[in-house]
Structure 1
């Protein structure tokens, strides 16, 4: 039987173990409590602002698609183009920019030359008649042979509807013969009118016509047969210009650039038409 001294030592050990266990328990609980406090102290991220998405078919959405498509096309074409062809095209662009055409062209504040041109169905379309109904957006393009033009025409599909809903009209003009304009309209499934300005007669009044340098004209005719499509031998094209014309016949917004790979954004044209339509409605 253990002596009193041994029994006392055993009791001391048991008490010490009990205290130690209690201390560990308490420490664990304190640790858990501290962890809970830390959880509470974590700063919650601020809620994101409720941003409304643009409708997929709107001009605001389409303009981003158009810009990206044009840039992608330019990059792809540039990668495939020979150094010689690239030099010819760049020289032509530089020459056009230095020609003064951008300064001479009809611009904001000018009276827009009036016109009557055939649409793809052969019907005569008058700018004066269109302006009686509301503001008009005029989109010039080089021809259905131009991939950048086709991307732009398709990119304006939504804009054409929004312009019409705002009380305006969108028309596209090229120097191509009516049959080729019809092909372009059908290929791109366009609901707005595509007009033929054979010989660039109207484009000349807007001072946006230029003659291609001989080496570039040769390239374009060999690859795209532009003279055959246009029904003449002038080797002339219009700038890919865009105008918005108010009901008073004056240009209120214009896009002019010597680089045919750059085009007016649909959303900007729609916004200008809406502003003009709103002003007219308030008068």
Structure 2
């Protein structure tokens, strides 16, 4: 084999390995997650108090704002706390638009309820806001948002889902930041 052929082969092999490595990144996870125009996969989760949160039931009441938090990756995420506080503060505006807010808190089942209780301590959840637990990442995996790395749980994401269960807004962050604001999401909530 000539030197040119070996270099070409080496370059092609490196490019192929790089492409495979890139498909494990957030970009590939985002490609598989629900996108605008897709039907949002149904889910049934529970709050820490045992109340069932079902997408199919909530969309009958109006649009659903679905926010995927990082849960408990070994600590309470400051960006999740800030984002949750902002959405809880805007809950009346979302209620006026007939929208429910579901914040998904993923993590290992063991200890998840206690971590969620710690996360919600001092926060008031209005009637249209739910903190839904995702034990062992069942929801996170179904939505293709699992960030499977040390000290990680899920890619932070926000979806707005209309009454036909169609995704009308989607934003998935590939970092801890890049979160949606309540005002940004409120503009995406469908009105009749």
TM-score for both structures, normalised by structure 1? 0.53
Structure 1 residues 130 and 172: CA distance shift in structure 2, 3 A: same
CA apart distance, 1:164: 1.2
Output the CA distance in 1 between the equivalents of 2:156 and 2:180.
9
Matched residue, 2:105: 174
Map of 1:14-25 to 2, 5 A cutoff? none
Output the CA distance in 2 between the equivalents of 1:107 and 1:160.
24
CA apart distance, 1:139: 0.6
1:197 to 128, 134, 143: 134
Q: Does 1:257 align with 2:145?
A: no
Matched residue, 1:121: 49
Q: CA RMSD in A?
A: 1.7
Output the CA distance in 1 between the equivalents of 2:98 and 2:62.
6
Output the CA distance in 2 between the equivalents of 1:124 and 1:178.
14
Question: What is the SS of the residue equivalent to 2:45?
Answer: strand
Output the CA distance in 2 between the equivalents of 1:187 and 1:96.
35
Structure 2: gaps spanning 5 or more residues: 1-23
Question: What is the SS of the residue equivalent to 2:175?
Answer: coil
Q: Does 1:110 align with 2:38?
A: yes
Matched residue, 2:63: 135
1:159 to 84, 87, 90: 90
Question: What is the SS of the residue equivalent to 2:121?
Answer: helix
Instruction: Confirm or deny: 8 A CA contact 2:83 2:181 kept in the other structure.
Output: no
| Structure with the largest fraction of strand | 2
CA apart distance, 1:188: 3.2
Instruction: Confirm or deny: 8 A CA contact 2:86 2:181 kept in the other structure.
Output: no
Structure ID, larger Rg: 1
Q: Which has the higher contact order (CA 8 A, sep 6+)?
A: 2
Output the CA distance in 1 between the equivalents of 2:92 and 2:145.
27
The CA deviation string for residues 247-268 of structure 1, in whole angstroms up to 9 with x for no partner, is 1011000111201111012112
The CA deviation string for residues 71-95 of structure 1, in whole angstroms up to 9 with x for no partner, is xxxxxxxxxxxxxxxxxxxxxxxx7
Which is worse superposed, 136-145 or 187-196? 187-196
Matched residue, 2:156: 240
Which is worse superposed, 177-186 or 194-203? 177-186
Output the CA distance in 2 between the equivalents of 1:159 and 1:108.
23
TM-score for both structures, normalised by structure 2? 0.77
Structure 1: gaps spanning 5 or more residues: 1-94, 221-235
Output the CA distance in 2 between the equivalents of 1:128 and 1:267.
25
| Structure with the largest fraction of helix | 1
